[in-house]
Amino acid sequence: MSTQAEASPGALPDTARRRPFRRPGAHGATGALAALGWLGAAAVTRVWPSLDDWPHTDALLALELLLALLSLALALTLTLTLTFAARTRRVQAGPPRGWLTVGPWLLALALGVSAWEIVTAKLEWLPRPFFAPPEALIAVFFDDYARLASSVAHSFGLLAYGYALGALTGFVVGVSIGWSRAVGYWLHPLLRLVGPLPATAWLPLAFFFFPSSFSASVFLIALASAFPVAVLTWSGVAGVNPAFYDVARTLGARPGFLILRVAIPAALPSVFVGLFMGLGASFSVLIVAEMMGVKAGLGWYLQWAQGWAAYSNMYAGLLVMALMCSGLITLLFRVRDRVLGWQKGLLKW
């Protein structure tokens, strides 16, 4: 005899939603292990003598102790909150889902930092100066923060100019090709011919025709970001349901209204996919352009660090670059979820 839960799939989510709160000790135990891991990393840093005198070891020790306290506070908070939620059956009383998964990452990070410290500063199994300990990476942010911050500001400005110009151009071209057959007749062949070429292939011509390396780099970044935006916008506009236009025309809509209020809103999901692809392409062109001709920026900073064999500075630059790129993509996803509320969560990042 089948039960009501078996006959009705909708009866299962209540049990599934409460499942994470039935074992609150598991989440708290993971946070406690992460705290022990960071305490162990601090012990390795403090007790085990290094083979060389590395600066800012005290800063590394303070950071490890701070992360140990943070992990312990997280473990206690999760345990108390989830226990209260399980006893009172208040499903929404628990913490956000992200807090339930951060504990294993804190533990893995503690073990990774400990291993990194051991094989570099303590045993020096990895050759210097190619592999530096965590203290050297912290020293870069203390001693060279001015040059690094200036490089981030220059890279962000260059990326903003190039990406905004390329995204706007690609959007206009995509809407024009998708809406007008006459425009598509002339622009589509050019798009198919020029678009697939890597933007870096235009480096010699760009630095020759443009008056400055900054303007040439803006052109290359715009070229890299414009192609995916144009193609995806064109596909989105061309794929709009013709019934939408028929209904709007029946109500007296003119061509301008059809483009601005029907075609573009219906094509926005495809437009944002093109914006994501264009942003990823612009990052690679940004670094190459800065290495070739620009006298500031993260690409220049990486080349400068490699030239002086300052590999800890190079790793710090790569870390900052990764955080910058990830942050901008996350911001673009937030904008998409805000604009396309009915498709929130459809694309993951």
**Tens of pLDDT, residues 57-108:** 999 999 999 999 999 988 888 777 777 766 776 544 455 555 567 888 999 9
Domains and CATH numbers, the chain: 4-132 (no CATH), 145-343 (1.10.3720.10)
Q: How far apart are CA 224 and CA 313, in angstroms?
A: 28
Chain CA centroid to CA 164, Å:
18
Q: In the chain, count of helices (H) and strands (E)? A: 15, 0
Q: Tell me the pTM.
A: 0.81
DSSP secondary structure code for residue 309 in this structure: T
Question: Can you give the pLDDT of all 349 residues of the chain as single tens digits?
Answer: 444 444 444 443 444 444 444 455 566 688 889 999 999 999 999 999 998 888 889 999 999 999 999 999 888 887 777 777 667 765 444 555 555 678 889 999 999 999 999 999 999 999 888 898 999 999 999 999 999 999 999 999 999 999 999 999 999 999 999 999 899 999 989 888 888 888 888 888 888 888 888 888 899 999 999 999 999 999 999 999 889 888 988 888 898 899 999 999 999 999 999 999 999 999 989 988 888 767 788 999 998 998 888 899 999 999 999 999 999 999 999 999 888 887 776 777 7
Residues 6+ apart with CB under 8 A from 2: none
Amino acid identity of 194? V
- In a 13 Å sphere around the CA of 85, the CA atoms on its Cβ side amount to 21
- C-alpha–C-alpha distance, residues 85 and 90, integer Å: 5
Q: How far apart are CA 124 and CA 238, in angstroms?
A: 60
Residue 89 one-letter amino acid:
R
Is-contact 37 65, C-beta < 8 A?
no
Half-sphere exposure of 248 (CA within 13 A, CB side): 17
